[in-house]
């Protein structure tokens, strides 16, 4: 197939490109490098089946020739981006989604929208099922991402219902793995960076708030399966094994030999969700999908990757 990936230089986008190229597809990647990194694509430079176009999806684009699939992954998404790229985030998830749906309609290509567990906000039900509408602060400090993704989902469903575009939606819960931006600001990369350098590991709040972490290869498998499934409603992709932030800090510290980083505590940021855990019954039933990579194995692979990248000896 001939496939477009937006946000291809990002953490998930670059892994998805690898996955699809390994299956023998032709991949056209779009990115404007606001948060994506060129080094994530360096290994694809000589691949004849990969074409890169530097482009911001908030501007329309016409790609010559037939297209079979469009994976729309473009969007700043880290906690660091909530303050740095507020307008860009909103434009990418609104105008950018609109533009890519227009391209999908024109090319009669199947379209997948990579949404987020952030659509549930500070959830009042637990675990979160896809039929839960969420508890989101529309003007809060995370609203540019929460509401951006909610709009993107609404836009995707509107094109499906009104214009017959063949669409898919996945809601991704806390993916982690190699190629995350070291300045990403999310829990796992922050803790690994601190543990490798011996700095204090900072936990916000009392550390009892929870996350459900899913290794990148599992998430990519789920995204690819969702694209090929005959289902248009949102599908949660994540690990239902819930773990506290404090436990994550302790596990990462224990996996770094000789690490003496202290765990310190700071006040909880506004609107930070207290619990985040997916109900993946829909993914299990429709996709026959569930996570395979154990958390400690995923952590160890990340630690090894960033130790090499940061040039820290074992």
- Concerning whether 145 is annotated as a catalytic residue, the answer is yes
For the stretch 181-191, pLDDT in tens is: 887 778 999 99
Least confident of 29-38, 166-175, 272-281, 290-299: 272-281
CB atoms within 10 A of CB 205: 15
Give the containing element (helix H, strand E) for 255.
Answer: helix 245-255
CA angle 20, 23, 24 (to 5 degrees): 95
Is residue 111 within 8 A of residue 263, CB to CB? The reply is: no
Please give the Cα distance from 160 to 145 (Å, whole number): 22
Phi, psi of 261 (to 5 degrees): -60, 130
Structure tokens at 149: 């993704």
Interval 32-61 mean pLDDT: 96
Question: Which member of 82, 120, 145, 176 is catalytic?
Answer: 145
Cα–Cα nearest to 229, from 114, 70, 140, 112: 112
Q: How far apart are CA 270 and CA 83, in angstroms?
A: 13
pLDDT at site 271: 62
- Are 75 and 32 in contact by the 8 Å Cβ rule? The answer is no
Q: What is the pLDDT of residues 229-284, one digit of tens each?
A: 999 999 999 999 999 999 999 999 999 999 989 999 998 877 677 778 999 999 99
List the domains of the chain with CATH numbers.
2-175+215-237 (3.40.50.720), 177-211+241-276+292-309 (3.90.25.10)
* CA atoms of 238 and 55, how far apart (whole Å): 29
Lowest pLDDT segment from 88-92, 204-208, 223-227: 204-208
Per the structure block, which two tokens stand in for 128? 């979160």
Cα distance between residue 149 and residue 235, in whole Å = 14
Question: For residue 28, is the peptide bond before it cis, meaning its omega torsion is within 30 degrees of 0?
Answer: no
CA atoms within a 13 Å half-sphere pointing along the CA-CB vector of 18: 16
Whole-angstrom distance, CA of residue 40 vs CA of residue 133: 35
pLDDT tens sequence across 59-86: 999 999 999 999 999 998 767 667 788 9
Spatial contact of 53 and 46, defined as CB atoms under 8 Å apart: no
**Start-to-end C-alpha separation, the chain:** 43
CB-based burial, 37-73: b 16+ in 10 Å, e otherwise: beebbeebeeeeebebeebbbbeeeebeeebebbbbb
């Amino acid at each position: 197939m001939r496939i477009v990936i937006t946000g291809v230089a990002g953490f998930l986008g670059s892994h998805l490109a690898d996955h699809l190229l390994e299956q023998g597809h032709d991949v056209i990647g779009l990115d404007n490098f606001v948060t994506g990194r060129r080094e994530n694509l360096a290994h694809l430079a000589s691949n004849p089946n990969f074409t890169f176009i530097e482009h911001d999806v908030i501007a329309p684009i016409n790609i010559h020739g037939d297209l079979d699939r469009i994976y729309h992954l473009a969007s700043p998404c880290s906690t660091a981006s909530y303050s740095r790229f507020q307008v860009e985030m909103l434009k990418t998830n609104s105008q950018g989604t609109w533009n890519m749906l227009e391209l999908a309609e024109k090319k009669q290509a199947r379209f997948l929208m990579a949404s987020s567990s952030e659509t549930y906000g500070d959830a009042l039900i637990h675990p979160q099922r896809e039929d839960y509408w969420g508890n989101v602060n529309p003007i809060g400090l995370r609203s540019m991402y929460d509401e951006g993704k909610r709009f993107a989902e609404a836009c995707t469903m509107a094109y499906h219902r009104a214009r017959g575009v063949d669409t898919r939606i996945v809601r991704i819960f806390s993916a982690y793995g190699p190629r995350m931006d070291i300045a990403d600001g999310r829990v796992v990369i922050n803790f690994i960076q601190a543990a490798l350098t011996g700095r204090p590991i900072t936990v916000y709040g009392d550390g009892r708030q929870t996350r459900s972490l899913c290794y990148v290869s599992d998430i990519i498998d789920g995204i690819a399966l969702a694209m090929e499934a005959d289902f248009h409603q949102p599908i949660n992709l994540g690990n239902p094994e819930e773990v506290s932030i404090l436990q994550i800090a302790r596990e990462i510290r224990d996996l770094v030999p000789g690490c003496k980083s202290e765990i310190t505590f700071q006040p909880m940021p506004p609107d930070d969700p207290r619990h985040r855990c997916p109900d993946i019954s829909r993914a299990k039933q429709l996709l026959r999908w569930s996570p395979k990579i154990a958390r400690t194995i995923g952590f160890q692979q990340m630690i090894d990757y960033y130790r090499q990248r940061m040039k820290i000896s074992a």
